[in-house]
Structure 1
Amino acid sequence: MRDLAVSASGLVKRFGERIAVNGVDIAVPRGQIYGVLGPNGAGKTTSLRMLLGIIEPDEGERTLLGSASPRDMSDRVGYLPEERGLYPNMKCREAIAFMGALRGLPWSVGRKRARDLLDSAGLGHAADDKIRKLSKGMAQLVQLLGSVVHAPDLLVLDEPFSGLDPVNQERLEQLIRAERDRGATVLFSTHVMAHAERLCEHISIIAGGTVRFEGTVDAARALLPARAQYTPRQDAPEIAAMLPPDALHEKGAWRFTVPEDGIESLLVQLIEAGHGISGLSIERPGLHDAFVRIVGADALADAQTEADA
Structure 2
Amino acid sequence: MAWITPKTNWKATDYINFTDFNRIEDNILDAANSLRALGYSIPGFTTVSNRTNKSYDDLASINRIENNLQLIRANSTTPAGWQDKKTWIVGMAFTFSDANRIENNTRLLKSIIKSQIYQSYTRLSDLTTNDDFQYALPFNTYYHDSRAHFVIDKSELTGMGLAAGDKITALSFYITERPGRDISKFTMALAHTNKNTADDFINKSLDEFTIVYASDPVMWYTFFVNQWREFVFSTPFIWDGNSNILVCLIKDGTDYAIGGRVRYVNVRPNIITGFFSDSSKIYPFDNATNRLPSTNFVPDMMITANKA
TM-score between both structures, scaled by the size of structure 2: 0.21
TM-score between both structures, scaled by the size of structure 1: 0.21
Q: Considering only CA atoms, is the larger Rg found in Structure 1 or Structure 2?
A: 1
